[in-house]
Amino acid sequence: MIIGARLGGAPMLFHELNRAGCKTYLAACEQTNRALLVDPLKDRVDRYLAVLAYYRLTLDLIIDSHTHADHRSGVWDLRELTGAKVVMHRRAPAPHIDIHIDDGGELAVGTLRLNFIHTPGHTPDSTCIRMGDRLLTGDTLLIGGTGRTDFPGGEPGAQYDAIIQKIFTLPDSLLVFPAHDYRGNVNSTIGDEKRSNARIAGRSREAYINLMNNLGMPLPTKIQEALQANESAIDDDSLKFPTLAQLNEVRQLDPAEVESRLLSTNPPLLLDVREADEFSGELGLIRGSILVPLRHLPEHAKELEKYRDHEIIAVCRAGVRSTTAAAILAGLGFEHVCNMKGGMLDWNDAKLPVER
Ligand SMILES: [Fe+2]
């Protein structure tokens, strides 16, 4: 189905491509034939390329509204095949994001203007995208519902604040296009959701948190194969990821605690598991840390043998890949492994010393 729209006088092509409960949106400027895809699935990349070719569109941006737990993201395959740039919120844990956006960020595709609104809660990196008369709400605001907040990093209070303070203060007439809908809806409006969203309309913050903490939903069937692959951009089955139960056992230390241990007489080994370009990139590195990218950790574990009885603290961009690394090492019998919570993002936010 093509949903025609006009943005600032320019015609826009807008198309949901999966025709299923999990939504991928194509938007394109019809003046310039430049396009963007939002939330593409890895197993539908061929279809997206066919549609782009059919409309003679050039793909400029590939956006994930957040790190998905229910399907493998198609952004990496699409970038490799088209050269388009991958866009995610700066809190996204994965490496190789070409453009990190933050709350209030703007991007252009042809004559289309995209405005990003950071809406954490479902995940720390959830973002909504406003384009003219419509808002792509990801898994933050669904039609008649909201995205679950019980995955790692989920926070119902933050989600309530984002929806009430940021989304529900937008114009009532703005069209809402969510990342999921299993009831056959195409879209609603901000006004509809403010009036009748069963999860959040008229509910207090406290009541909302209580409701979300007691939904008791089963985990998505693909979470084990999808979530850590999307968090790490390792989507080729080359790494055996630990189980969610193993991840939950990893001890988390905040950056200030890591800093104080580094200043002690018996400092821990800092194991940075980012990619080499990130290690020398904008977030810098912590002095003395050694680099072993997550994807190479199993084959390099032997070199860490001498640290087996030593404390090891895993570090990465957002503290997510490093939790996977810590769980892998724990599975190999390393007993004193912790993770630095929030990664180099939180380390930088805390204004702790970095080397570049
Ligand atoms: Fe999601």
Residue 89 has a pLDDT of 98
Decide the pairing of beta strands 337-340 and 251-253.
Answer: parallel
Residue 249 C-alpha to ligand 1 middle, in angstroms?
23
Residue 75 C-alpha to ligand 1 middle, in angstroms?
15
Residue 356 C-alpha to ligand 1 middle, in angstroms?
34
d(CA 123, CA 265): 37
Q: Which residue type is seen at 60?
A: D
Residue 272 C-alpha to ligand 1 middle, in angstroms?
27
Return the structure tokens found at 111: 């004559």
Residue 332 C-alpha to ligand 1 middle, in angstroms?
31
SS (H, E, C) 247-303: HHCCEEECHHHHHHHHCCCCCCEEEECCCHHHHCCCCCECCCCEECCHHHHHHHHHH
Residue 138 C-alpha to ligand 1 middle, in angstroms?
7
pLDDT exceeds cutoff 90 at 6:
no
Would you place residue 2 in the very low, low, confident or very high pLDDT band (cuts 50, 70, 90)? very low
d(CA 88, CA 69): 15
What single-letter DSSP state applies at residue 163? I
Q: Which residues surround ligand 1, an ion (CB under 5 A)?
A: 139
Would you place residue 1 in the very low, low, confident or very high pLDDT band (cuts 50, 70, 90)? very low
Name the residue with tokens 């002095």: 287
**Percentage of the residues of the chain whose pLDDT score is greater than 70:** 97
Residue 194 C-alpha to ligand 1 middle, in angstroms?
21
CA dihedral of residues 63, 67, 69, 71 (deg, nearest 10)? 20
Residues counted in the chain: 356
**Percentage of the residues of the chain whose pLDDT score is greater than 90:** 93
Would you place residue 235 in the very low, low, confident or very high pLDDT band (cuts 50, 70, 90)? confident
Residue 10 has a pLDDT of 56
pLDDT exceeds cutoff 70 at 4:
no
Residue 66 C-alpha to ligand 1 middle, in angstroms?
7
pLDDT exceeds cutoff 80 at 51:
yes
Residue 137 C-alpha to ligand 1 middle, in angstroms?
11
d(CA 329, CA 258): 18
Angle 281-285-291 (CA atoms, 0-180°, nearest 5)?
Answer: 90
pTM exceeds 0.85: yes
What does pLDDT average to over the chain? 95
d(CA 50, CA 242): 36
Q: What is the mean pLDDT of residues 183-210?
A: 97
pLDDT exceeds cutoff 90 at 3:
no
Residue 25 has a pLDDT of 98
Partnered with residue 108 across adjacent β-strands are 113
Q: What is the mean pLDDT of residues 59-77?
A: 97
Residue 234 has a pLDDT of 95
Residue 69 C-alpha to ligand 1 middle, in angstroms?
6
pLDDT exceeds cutoff 60 at 275:
yes
Would you place residue 255 in the very low, low, confident or very high pLDDT band (cuts 50, 70, 90)? very high
Residue 179 C-alpha to ligand 1 middle, in angstroms?
8
Residue 5 has a pLDDT of 56
120-172, pLDDT tens digit by residue? 999 999 999 999 999 999 999 999 999 999 998 999 999 999 999 999 999 99
298-346, pLDDT tens digit by residue? 999 999 999 998 999 999 999 999 999 999 999 999 999 999 999 999 9
Q: Which helix or strand (DSSP H or E) is residue 51 part of?
A: helix 45-54
Helices 75-82, 45-54: axis angle to 10 degrees equals: 40
Q: What is the mean pLDDT of residues 240-269?
A: 96
Would you place residue 236 in the very low, low, confident or very high pLDDT band (cuts 50, 70, 90)? confident
Return the structure tokens found at 288: 């003395």
